[in-house]
Structure 1
Amino acid sequence: MQINGQNVSAAAGITLAQLLAQQGFDAARVAVELNGRIISRSDFDAVQLADNDTVEVVQFVGGG
Protein backbone atom coordinates (compact mmCIF):
# COMPACT_ATOMS: atom_id res chain seq x y z
CA MET A 1 0.00 0.00 0.00
CA GLN A 2 1.02 3.60 -0.33
CA ILE A 3 1.03 6.22 2.39
CA ASN A 4 1.71 9.78 1.25
CA GLY A 5 3.32 8.44 -1.92
CA GLN A 6 5.62 5.97 -0.14
CA ASN A 7 5.23 2.20 -0.46
CA VAL A 8 4.83 0.53 2.93
CA SER A 9 4.04 -3.00 3.97
CA ALA A 10 1.36 -3.70 6.53
CA ALA A 11 -0.32 -6.78 7.94
CA ALA A 12 -3.39 -8.03 6.12
CA GLY A 13 -6.61 -6.69 7.62
CA ILE A 14 -4.94 -3.88 9.54
CA THR A 15 -7.32 -1.08 10.45
CA LEU A 16 -6.71 2.51 9.56
CA ALA A 17 -6.30 3.37 13.26
CA GLN A 18 -3.67 0.65 13.66
CA LEU A 19 -1.79 1.81 10.58
CA LEU A 20 -1.75 5.41 11.78
CA ALA A 21 -0.37 4.35 15.16
CA GLN A 22 2.22 2.07 13.51
CA GLN A 23 3.39 4.96 11.32
CA GLY A 24 3.62 7.37 14.27
CA PHE A 25 0.61 9.56 13.48
CA ASP A 26 -1.64 10.98 16.19
CA ALA A 27 -5.13 10.05 14.95
CA ALA A 28 -6.62 13.06 16.74
CA ARG A 29 -4.46 15.45 14.69
CA VAL A 30 -4.80 14.10 11.16
CA ALA A 31 -7.20 14.01 8.22
CA VAL A 32 -7.13 10.88 6.07
CA GLU A 33 -8.05 10.24 2.47
CA LEU A 34 -8.34 6.59 1.45
CA ASN A 35 -8.43 5.87 -2.29
CA GLY A 36 -9.67 9.40 -2.96
CA ARG A 37 -12.35 9.40 -0.24
CA ILE A 38 -12.15 11.33 3.04
CA ILE A 39 -12.51 9.03 6.04
CA SER A 40 -14.27 10.29 9.16
CA ARG A 41 -12.14 10.06 12.29
CA SER A 42 -14.94 8.07 13.95
CA ASP A 43 -14.44 5.36 11.30
CA PHE A 44 -10.67 4.91 11.72
CA ASP A 45 -11.15 1.80 13.93
CA ALA A 46 -13.64 0.19 11.53
CA VAL A 47 -11.91 0.70 8.17
CA GLN A 48 -9.76 -2.27 7.17
CA LEU A 49 -7.03 -1.73 4.61
CA ALA A 50 -5.97 -3.78 1.59
CA ASP A 51 -2.57 -4.13 -0.11
CA ASN A 52 -3.57 -1.95 -3.07
CA ASP A 53 -4.95 0.98 -1.01
CA THR A 54 -3.62 4.50 -1.30
CA VAL A 55 -3.67 6.52 1.91
CA GLU A 56 -2.99 10.24 2.17
CA VAL A 57 -2.48 11.63 5.67
CA VAL A 58 -2.48 15.35 6.42
CA GLN A 59 -1.27 16.44 9.87
CA PHE A 60 -2.66 19.50 11.58
CA VAL A 61 0.06 21.80 12.87
CA GLY A 62 -0.54 24.48 15.46
CA GLY A 63 1.28 27.75 15.57
CA GLY A 64 0.84 31.41 15.78
Structure 2
Amino acid sequence: MNEYFDNLLKATGNEFGSKVSDGVEAGDVSGYIDTGSYILNALISGDIYGGIPTNKITAFAGETATG
Protein backbone atom coordinates (compact mmCIF):
# COMPACT_ATOMS: atom_id res chain seq x y z
CA MET A 1 0.00 0.00 0.00
CA ASN A 2 2.88 2.38 0.73
CA GLU A 3 4.21 1.91 -2.78
CA TYR A 4 0.80 2.86 -4.18
CA PHE A 5 0.79 6.16 -2.28
CA ASP A 6 4.41 6.86 -3.22
CA ASN A 7 3.53 6.43 -6.90
CA LEU A 8 0.41 8.56 -6.48
CA LEU A 9 2.43 11.40 -4.95
CA LYS A 10 4.96 11.23 -7.78
CA ALA A 11 2.17 11.28 -10.38
CA THR A 12 0.58 14.43 -8.92
CA GLY A 13 3.83 16.36 -9.22
CA ASN A 14 2.97 18.35 -6.08
CA GLU A 15 6.21 19.39 -4.39
CA PHE A 16 4.36 19.91 -1.09
CA GLY A 17 2.57 16.55 -1.14
CA SER A 18 3.46 14.07 1.57
CA LYS A 19 1.97 11.19 3.48
CA VAL A 20 1.52 10.74 7.19
CA SER A 21 2.46 7.47 8.86
CA ASP A 22 2.34 6.48 12.50
CA GLY A 23 4.55 3.44 12.00
CA VAL A 24 1.68 1.01 12.51
CA GLU A 25 0.44 -0.96 9.54
CA ALA A 26 -3.30 -1.35 9.08
CA GLY A 27 -3.33 -4.97 10.22
CA ASP A 28 -0.97 -4.62 13.19
CA VAL A 29 -2.62 -5.29 16.53
CA SER A 30 -0.65 -4.82 19.73
CA GLY A 31 -3.08 -6.73 21.95
CA TYR A 32 -6.68 -7.64 22.64
CA ILE A 33 -9.32 -6.94 25.27
CA ASP A 34 -11.26 -10.10 26.11
CA THR A 35 -15.02 -9.67 25.69
CA GLY A 36 -15.85 -12.53 28.03
CA SER A 37 -17.46 -14.46 25.18
CA TYR A 38 -15.48 -16.98 23.13
CA ILE A 39 -17.92 -16.64 20.23
CA LEU A 40 -17.73 -12.83 20.17
CA ASN A 41 -13.93 -12.95 20.49
CA ALA A 42 -13.76 -15.30 17.50
CA LEU A 43 -16.09 -13.12 15.42
CA ILE A 44 -14.12 -9.96 16.13
CA SER A 45 -10.52 -11.19 16.08
CA GLY A 46 -10.59 -14.64 14.48
CA ASP A 47 -9.37 -16.26 17.70
CA ILE A 48 -11.43 -17.40 20.69
CA TYR A 49 -8.77 -15.98 23.01
CA GLY A 50 -8.57 -12.62 21.17
CA GLY A 51 -11.27 -10.00 21.37
CA ILE A 52 -11.32 -6.26 20.73
CA PRO A 53 -8.02 -4.85 19.39
CA THR A 54 -6.41 -2.44 21.88
CA ASN A 55 -4.86 -0.11 19.30
CA LYS A 56 -7.93 0.30 17.08
CA ILE A 57 -11.08 2.37 17.37
CA THR A 58 -14.01 0.00 17.78
CA ALA A 59 -17.72 0.81 17.93
CA PHE A 60 -20.68 -1.48 18.43
CA ALA A 61 -24.09 -0.51 17.13
CA GLY A 62 -27.46 -2.14 16.87
CA GLU A 63 -31.17 -1.75 17.28
CA THR A 64 -32.47 -0.42 20.57
CA ALA A 65 -33.05 -3.07 23.28
CA THR A 66 -31.45 -5.94 21.30
CA GLY A 67 -28.56 -6.61 23.60
Structure with bigger helix share is 2
- The structure number with the bigger radius of gyration is 2
Identify the structure with bigger relative contact order (alpha carbons < 8 Å, sequence gap 6+).
1
Shorter-chain TM band: under 0.3
Q: TM-score, normalised by structure 2?
A: 0.24
Structure with bigger strand share is 1
